[in-house]
Amino acid sequence: MTPEEVFLKLVHGVADRDFAVLPQLYAEQTDVRHPMHPYGDHPLLTRDALREHFGGVGPRVTEVVRFQPDNIRVHRTDDPEVIVAEFEYAGTILATGEPFRVPAIFVLRVRDGLIVESRDYLDHLAMIRARGQVDELITHLREPATTPTTS
């Protein structure tokens, strides 16, 4: 698969709640990051980590919202493995019927049909609002930061 085909399978698979298949789009050793996530960037470095991520986060998202990718624009780069994809998740909050949009940009490196690196920049605050988790985020932000110990 081309990088664009892999990207389309990924965003449509997320929207279609196909969480068991999504990890198969990634290499065994990969590097997936969410640099703008308000809870911090916790790199996902293996297919198993992605399986755990999609299996845990995915069902919690789809319990409260439904969405599909929209306004997809894929930009090729000079590197044939790398694409930059702009899109939005357009959806509905199940409890209220209220529509929402979450803009996103993914920078993917796809080698031999598998994602080996991804930087996912999305409006996490818009998704947190849509999922009704603003209070949870505020509580998290108010918690004192832990300082790593040095030895």
Domains in the chain, number: 1
Within a domain: residue 41?
Answer: yes
pTM: 0.85
Q: How far apart are CA 90 and CA 92, in angstroms?
A: 7
Give the whole-angstrom CA distance, residue 93 versus residue 150: 45
Lowest mean pLDDT among 63-67, 78-82, 116-120: 63-67
**Predicted local distance difference test score (pLDDT) of residue 108:** 98
Flag whether 147 is in a domain: no
Q: What is the distance, to the nearest Å, from the Cα of residue 78 to the centroid of all Cα atoms in its chain?
A: 24
In a domain, 151, yes or no: no
Q: In this structure, is residue 149 part of a structural domain?
A: no
The DSSP code for 44 is E
State pLDDT tens for residues 89-142: 999 998 899 999 999 999 999 999 999 999 999 998 888 888 887 788 788 778
∠ CA 41-59-24, nearest 5°, is 70
Burial (CB count within 10 angstroms: exposed 0-12, middle 13-18, buried 19+), residue 3? buried
Q: How far apart are alpha carbons 8 and 45 in whole angstroms?
A: 21
Q: What is the pLDDT of residue 63?
A: 77
9 is a domain residue: yes
Handedness of CA 63, 131, 52, 118 (dihedral sign): positive
Within a domain: 150: no
In a domain, 113, yes or no: yes
Q: Tokens representing 71? A: 């306004």
Domain assignment of residue 101, given as a range: 3-142
The answer to whether position 82 is within a domain reads yes
**CATH number of the domain within which 116 lies:** 3.10.450.50
